[in-house]
Structure 1
Amino acid sequence: MEDKKKLPLEGLRVIDASTVLAGPMLATYLGDFGAEVIKVEHPAGDPLRNAGSHKDGESLEWKLVSRNKKPITLNFSTPKGQELFHQLAETADIVITNFRPQTLAKWNITYESLAKNNPGLILVKVSGFGEDGPYKERPGFGTLAEAMSGFAQVNGFPDRGPVLPSFALADYATAMMGAYATMVAVYERDHSEDGKGQSIDLPIYEALMGMLGNQVMEYDQLGVIPGRKGNRTGWTAPRNLYETQDGKWLAISGTSPAIVERIFKAIGREELLADPKFATNQARLQHADELEAIIADWMKQFPQEEILERFIRFEATIAPVYNVKEIMEDPHFIHRNNIVEVPDAHFGKVKMLNAAPKLSRTPGEIRHAGLELGSSNEAVYEELGLTPAEIEELRNGGII
C-alpha cells in the first residue's frame, strides 16, 4: 500500500478568527494544502452557517468554505474569551481576522498583544478599507469594494447601468491575494535572522482594484475613463459571445494574429486578412461592430457542436458557455479530477471543486466538508491544558 503523501503546508497552524467569506476562504486555501486550520466562531455560530443554499437545514456554503477546518467556539467580547484567544494565538503561525480596527482594539486583539509571547506570529487583518485612512472605521463588505474599485463601472453593457457580480468576486479576490501575501510573510519570517512575524493589512477594495488592469495608467497618460463594453474588451477583437443555430452560446477570443487568422479560416472568411479594416488588431478594434456582426451572422447558421468541431479542426480558440450541469459532465474536467466527492457529517458525501492548482509532488487535498459548530472544542482546548470540567464550565458560562 502506497504511503500517504505529505501535504506541503503540514506543520503550519492557522487560527481563522474571521467571519463570512474573504478571511475564511483565505484560510481555506491554506488548509487545502495541509495547514491545520482552527476555525474560531462565536458560540452563536458564524453568519455563513445561515448563508446561501440549504439542504435539511444545513448550509452548503458552510460545507464548502469551512472544509478541512477544526471548528471551535469562543466569545471574544468577554475577558476570559480574550485570554483564551491569546493563549491559542501563542500556538499559531498565522491568525486571520476581519473585524474593524476599533473592534479589534476593544477586544485587545492587536498584533502587539498577540505577538508578545509569539514573535513569529503573522496576523492577517482583512477589512473593508484598511487599517488607516479616512474610511478605516467604516463597515465594508465585498459589494462595496466591487463598486468603489471600479469593477461595477466597467461591468455590463454600454446602454445600461453598472452591474455588480452575482457571486462574491471581491471576497474571493481578497482570499487569493491574502493567501499569497501570507505565504510571502511566512517565507520572509522563516528566512530572516530574527524569525519575527508581521501583520498584513488586507483591505478588500485593494485586492479587487489590482485585478482591473491598467485603468490608472490609461487615465493618467491618456485621460481615458473606461466604460462598459459588454462582452468585448479594449485589447483585442474579435472577442465576444455568439449565439448558435440551436440557441446555445460560444465564446471566442482573437488574442494573437495567428489565432485571428485561424478564426477567419474557420468561418470561411480568409479574405478578411487582406482587408485593411481587419488586417491588424488596432484596425479590428476600430471596426469591431462590423467584424462582430460578420462572425455573429455565421454562428447563427450552424449548431454549437458543428461549430466546435470546425474551430477545433482549424486550431482556433473557442469554448462553449457552460452551466454547472455541463461542467460536471465535461470529460476533460472529469479526467483532471476537477470535482471530487468528500466525506460529510450530514450527507455522507458531497461534491465540490477540488483543491487547485495541482502540485506535482505535493498536491492539495480536501479531507472533509465543513463540520458541526464547536465539534473540535474538546480537542483544541484540552491541548491548551483545560480539563473537561473546565471546558464544560466555559460552555455553561457562554464563553465557548
Structure 2
Amino acid sequence: MTQAPTVPPQLRRPGRAATGNASGRYECHAREAFDDGWALVEEDRVLRTELRLEQPRSAITRNSSPDVPFDRSVNPYRGCEHGCIYCFARPSHAYLGLSPGLDFETRLTAKPELPEVLARELSRKSYRPATLAIGTNTDPYQPVEAEQGIMRGVLEVLRDFNHPVGIVTKGTLIERDLDILAPMAAQGLVSVGLSVTTLDPQLSRRMEPRAPRPARRLETIRHLSEAGIPTRVMVAPVVPGLTDHETEAILGAAKQAGARAASWIMLRLPLEVAPLFRDWLAEHYPDRAARILGRVRELHGGRDYDPHWGRRMRGQGPWADLARQRFDRAARRLGLDAPLPRLRTDLFAVPPKPGDQLTLAL
C-alpha cells in the first residue's frame, strides 16, 4: 500500500526525492499532515538541510557479510543530502528515531572528531591492517563535506599510517583531495569506485536530486584516472524498466573517461525503501510504475526485496541472468572485466608521536 504523504502541503521540497516523511519502524507514534478545515493561509516554507554533530565513540565498523569484499568501514556522516530515492542506507536513519524519508535527506549527522578517533584505533597494538571501505553506507563526499572536511581529515590519517582505503562515491568533491589520493595511489594504497546510475540528466535529477550530474561524474573519473588513481565505474543500481537499457552506454562512456574496471548491482528495496520508491514512481513515472515494480518482484522471488546472501545484490531468475550477461559481455569487450589491483597492507606503520624515541638507522 502506498504511504500517505506526511509533510504539510505548504512545505516545499525542491531538490528532494522522497515524497513523504513517515515515522521509522521503531517509533511508537506516526504523524501525518491533514487539513483541519480552518483554511488558514500559511507561509510557504522550503525544506532545508539541518546538521547536527556527534562525538563518535569508535571509528571503524566491522562486518562479516559474504556479499562485500571488505570487513571494515568508516562513515563520516549519517544521512545523505544526495537524496537518492533508491538508497539502501535509508533504513539506517530509523535507528536515530528519524524517518528514512525526507529526514534521511535533510537531517544529517556529522562526526568532526572521527579522524582523531580513527588514529587512536589504528595505533592499537592489536590492530591488523586491511582495506578500509568508505562510502559503503552514505556518501563521504556529499555536499556538507565541503564545509566539514571530515573525509579529508580521515584521508590525512590513512596517509600518515600508510593504510589502504577503498572509496565509493558519487561526489565530484573527491577531486579536492587529489593531493592526498595521488601519492597514496602511487604506493598502491587507494582505489575509487564512482557510481553512474544513468546518463540521462533529467532522470538523474529526479532520482538522485543533489548528486552531481552524470556528465560531471564522468569528468571526475577522467581526473582521477589522469592522476594515476585506479578507478572503476559502478553501474549501481540497475533499475529494471528504467535504467537497465543504459548498461552498455554507461560502460562505454566510463571507459572513454579512463575507468579501469566496472561493477554493477541490481536495485534493492529493503524495509522503508520499498514504499518510498513506489511513491516516487507514482509521482514521476506513473505510466511505467506497475511494469517497473513487477520486474523488481520477478527479480526478488515475488517480493520487493530478497535479503538472502548471494541474491540480494543481483536478484535471480531470467531477468537477472540477462542483466548479468549484458554487463559481462560489455565489460569484457571494453576491457573493464578485470578487478582493480589489490591494495597493499605491508606498508602500514604507526607514525611516531611527538616525544617518541626514534629508531637509529644503520
Q: TM-score, normalised by structure 2?
A: 0.28
Q: TM-score, normalised by structure 1?
A: 0.26
Tell me which protein shows more helix as a share of its residues: 1
Larger radius of gyration: 1
